Amino acid sequence: MASTLRKVKYQPIRLTITGAGLTASTNDARVDQNYDRVKGIQMTCTDANAIEQAYFDKFEMGGKEIYPKYYEGKLIYSGVNVAPNERFDKEVDEPGNNTTVDITLKDQSVAGTVYPYTVTVYLKLENPLK
């Protein structure tokens, strides 16, 4: 029987920063259990000012560090001149299938930021299990 799932899925994980200098964390986020591998990560933000200096306090999947502490969010954020498929960090190849995703993002109180703003981390999932 043919698979009913798409070959590639983009799973969003949203974090909302509510005030200057505050952090936002995932709450029991997990990779979609129908996909075997996470093959890319990218990030978008509703306030481009804020993401200039925000960094990750933690970015782990399945307990393993993906990005170290102080890794700036702008490194996985792309501007308007970048083609959609090139926006992902393609060196990621991690297990999917219900793996835990622990992300904590810290705001750096950049002047001109409008609060609250939302950061969305997209996981590119491949190898559907069904």
Partner 1 sequence: MQSRRKIIIIRLAVVGTFGSRQRIKFKVPQELAIIDGYQITTAGDGALVNNVALGKLSLSFNNRASNPIYEDVVSDKVQFKTGKYEYKKLLEPVKKKTLIEGYFINVNPLPVAYTLNIYLKGKELIQE
Q: Distance between CA 47 and CA 110 in Å, rounded?
A: 11
Query: Using CB under 8 A, which of 108, 116, 126, 127 touches partner 1?
Result: 108
Any contact of residue 118 with partner 1 (CB under 8 A)? no
**Minimum distance between the CB of residue 130 and partner 1, rounded to whole angstroms?**
28
Return the range that interacts with partner 1 (CB under 8 A); candidates 11-19, 24-32, 48-56, 113-121. Answer: 48-56
Any contact of residue 85 with partner 1 (CB under 8 A)? no
Q: What letter represents residue 44's amino acid?
A: T
Any contact of residue 74 with partner 1 (CB under 8 A)? yes
DSSP symbols for 2-42:
---S-SEEEEEEEEEE-STT-EEE-SSEE--TTEEEEEEEE
Query: Using CB under 8 A, which of 1, 4, 27, 70 touches partner 1?
Result: 70
Return the range that interacts with partner 1 (CB under 8 A); candidates 3-11, 12-20, 25-33, 47-55. Answer: 47-55
Any contact of residue 23 with partner 1 (CB under 8 A)? no
Contact criterion met (CB below 8 Å) for 101 and 123: yes
User: CA-CA distances (angstroms) from residue 99 to 26, 34, 50, 123?
Assistant: 13, 11, 29, 12
